[in-house]
């Protein structure tokens, strides 16, 4: 491609709409333009990269035995109703009414559609297992689109769905997808880690997230840097906190804490560390209020709490209920004297002489102790990891960092096949629900997270396999006939080789501008025709990433480029 014939609008200044590096660079390098909040147009360069990522995904899916389909973006509401996810998605679902008054949704994902199809078309164990996948735009009315293509209202997702006759089969299908994901992200040159995850609104049990560590990531990842244990924030386990030895129990004392109702306020007022305080949160479980005790500096993990309680979902009690249960204004709840069931976090169970609310407005209690002052009904792990927590496997310090979720694999089981009646007859002629798995990859996120991790002050640094063009030819002076003849001849020559994608910067601009642009759009290899060429007829080859420079005579250029491809693809 000749630069002058494409549309590559580079920007010298940072766009005001962008906050993070990848977003700024995608705009500056002319990959994307925003059309409206959460929706982006991919310009020629962006489209080339997008297609490269898609091709890699497609190749690896096919290699793993998955079969490609293409599903509609339009979805009827009844299937989402049947699976119970109409409520789960709620306002995230983009819907519209057609001219006949029928409401249709723009698909946020496609479990229901695929399950419906497979349920209709597959009837026998002989037709299983099967894994179908598609690469398609999904729509979600995100409350807050952010960070360019990292969180947008429409995005491209590869989603695959496996159908098996039993859990053994599911495990195999899952493993195949898991391995394919590793190959995809390896080929995209991403540094990623895999974490255990909770399956959340998808349903099902086992799940893994593929994350790219990044300070701009919206997901929290918990890792043990010693033994390799890793999980996301909802899922992460940690070692129990040991009980202090030889503690003398002190006498309970009621103290006045006027209008101090947050942990922070009480901590400051009484000069007691929040880790020596216990907060009492009133939840509603099965219609009954229960008390959940947590150390002052800890946060409740509702995902874990939900599981402990064996519920679908839990919610904090409203103010009136809390005041009724505790007999005090909000902020002065404590376990002493409470009549409700009391669930204590493990960290609370090992604490002694702590501070709690007195169940009396404007008062707290000092030196409260479990057993002596109140009874715990159940000790459980219902909190998030905090700094200082230890690895559940090797007791080393846990590391808490952020990451971008680029892929997620789930073992769904029969949640959807039960709801949408996707059944088959087994060898005994008995009807059974198919065992499902689902597997997603955020295609746009691969690009953004790659840039997030691979750029410098001059611009993007593409890995060879994702670069929109692998080589850029820069004639320093386009009005010099010899240079231009050489540039065109190399361009023609290299363009005839399918694997070498070449961009010729034929614009009549000063060299500085062309060098800066080449760096900005991140082309791995530059071929510069300039001073050296005039002097010695040699061409200069410069690498974007390392800055290394090689000289080659025109007749050797093709072999040199191929040699560099070899080197660049080895890492």
Binding site for RNA (CB under 7 A): 10-17, 19, 34, 36-38, 88, 92, 108-109, 138, 140, 142-147, 151, 157, 159, 199-202, 218, 405, 408, 440, 442, 458, 476-479, 508, 510-513, 515-520, 528-533, 540, 542
Token readout for 123 is 């009837």
CB of 217 to RNA, least distance (A): 10
Give SS3 for 349.
Answer: helix
Burial of 369 (0-12, 13-18, 19+ CB in 10 A): middle
Q: Rounded CA gap, 36 and 154, in Å? A: 11
Residue placing its CB nearer to RNA in the complex, 145 or 463: 145
Report in angstroms the alpha-carbon separations of 10 from 3, 96, 440, 502, 518. 12, 37, 32, 18, 10
Q: How far is the CB of 218 from RNA (least distance, A)?
A: 5
Q: Are 530 and 541 in contact (CB under 8 A)?
A: no
Site of tokens 């200044």: 13
Which residue has tokens 């790659």?
450
Name the minimum Å distance from CB 440 to RNA: 3
If the CB atoms of residues 58 and 146 are measured against RNA, the closer one turns out to be 146
Select 367 or 386, whichever has its Cβ closest to RNA: 386
Q: Smallest gap, in angstroms, from Cβ of residue 151 to RNA?
A: 7
Nearer to RNA, 391 or 478 (CB): 478
330 closest CA partner among 368, 356, 357: 357
Q: How many whole angstroms separate alpha carbon 8 and alpha carbon 31?
A: 8
Decide whether 499 or 547 has the Cβ nearer to RNA: 547
**How many other CB atoms are found less than 10 A from the CB of residue 218?**
13
Alpha-carbon span 354 to 366, nearest angstrom = 6
Toward RNA, which CB reaches closer, 11 or 247? 11
Distance of closest approach, residue 565 Cβ to RNA, in angstroms? 20
List helix spans (H) across 70-197.
Answer: 77-83, 85-89, 111-121, 167-187
Please answer whether residues 228 and 406 qualify as being in contact, where contact means their C-beta atoms are separated by less than 8 angstroms. no
Q: Give the residue with the Cβ less far from RNA, 279 or 408.
A: 408
Sorted by sequence, the CB contacts under 8 Å of residue 328 that are 6+ apart come out as 357, 358, 359, 360, 361, 363
Which C-beta is closer to RNA: that of 52 or that of 233?
A: 233
CB of 430 to RNA, least distance (A): 32
What's the min distance (Å) between Cβ of 12 and RNA? 4
| Least spacing, CB of residue 540 vs RNA, in Å | 5
């Amino acid at each position: 491609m000749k630069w002058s014939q494409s549309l590559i609008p580079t920007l010298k200044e940072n766009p005001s709409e962008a906050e993070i590096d990848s977003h700024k660079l995608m705009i500056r390098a002319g990959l994307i333009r925003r059309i409206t909040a959460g929706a982006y147009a991919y310009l020629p360069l962006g489209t080339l990269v997008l297609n490269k990522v898609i091709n890699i995904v497609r190749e690896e899916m096919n290699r793993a035995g998955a079969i490609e389909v293409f599903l509609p973006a339009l979805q009827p509401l009844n299937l989402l109703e049947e699976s119970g996810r109409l409520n789960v998605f709620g306002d995230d679902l983009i819907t519209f009414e057609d001219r006949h008054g029928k409401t249709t949704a723009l698909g946020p994902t496609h479990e229901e559609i695929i399950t419906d199809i497979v349920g209709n078309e597959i009837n026998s164990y002989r037709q299983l297992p099967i894994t179908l996948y598609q690469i398609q735009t999904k729509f979600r009315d995100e409350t807050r689109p952010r960070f360019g293509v990292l969180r947008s209202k429409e995005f491209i997702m590869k989603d695959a769905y496996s159908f098996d006759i039993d859990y053994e089969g599911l495990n195999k299908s899952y493993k195949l997808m898991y391995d394919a994901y590793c190959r995809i992200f390896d080929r995209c040159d991403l540094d990623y880690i895999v974490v255990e995850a909770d399956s959340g609104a998808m349903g099902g049990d086992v799940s893994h997230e593929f994350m790219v560590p990044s300070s701009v990531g919206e997901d929290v990842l918990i890792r043990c840097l010693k033994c390799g244990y890793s999980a996301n924030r909802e899922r992460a386990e940690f070692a129990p906190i040991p009980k202090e030895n030889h503690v003398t129990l002190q006498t309970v004392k009621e103290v006045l804490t006027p209008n101090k109702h947050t942990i922070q306020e009480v901590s400051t007022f009484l000069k007691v560390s929040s880790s020596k305080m216990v907060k009492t949160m009133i939840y509603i479980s099965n219609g009954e209020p229960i008390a959940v005790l947590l150390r002052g500096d800890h946060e409740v993990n509702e995902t874990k709490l939900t599981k402990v309680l064996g519920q679908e979902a839990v919610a904090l009690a409203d103010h009136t209920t809390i005041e009724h249960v505790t007999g005090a204004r909000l902020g002065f709840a404590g376990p002493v004297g409470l009549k409700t069931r009391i669930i204590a976090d493990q960290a609370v169970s090992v604490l002694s002489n702590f501070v709690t609310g007195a169940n009396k407005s404007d008062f707290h209690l000092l030196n409260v102790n479990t057993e002596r002052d109140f009874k715990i009904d159940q000790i459980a792990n219902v909190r998030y990891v905090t700094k200082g927590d230890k690895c559940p496997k090797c007791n080393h310090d846990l590391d808490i960092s952020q990451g971008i979720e680029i892929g997620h694999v789930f073992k769904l089981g029969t949640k959807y096949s039960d709801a949408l009646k996707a059944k088959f007859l087994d060898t005994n002629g008995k009807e059974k629900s198919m065992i499902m798995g689902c597997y997603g990859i955020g295609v746009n996120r691969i690009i953004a997270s790659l840039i997030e991790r691979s750029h410098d002050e001059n611009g993007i640094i593409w890995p060879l396999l994702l670069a929109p063009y692998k080589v850029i030819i820069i004639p320093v002076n386009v009005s010099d006939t010899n240079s231009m003849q050489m540039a065109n001849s190399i361009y023609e020559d290299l363009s005839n080789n399918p694997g070498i994608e070449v961009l010729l910067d034929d614009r009549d601009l000063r060299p500085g501008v062309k060098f800066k642009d080449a760096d900005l759009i991140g082309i791995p290899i530059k071929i510069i025709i300039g001073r050296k060429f005039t002097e010695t007829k040699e061409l200069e080859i410069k690498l974007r990433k390392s800055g290394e420079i090689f000289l080659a005579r025109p007749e050797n250029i093709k072999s040199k480029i191929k040699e560099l491809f070899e080197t660049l693809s080895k890492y």
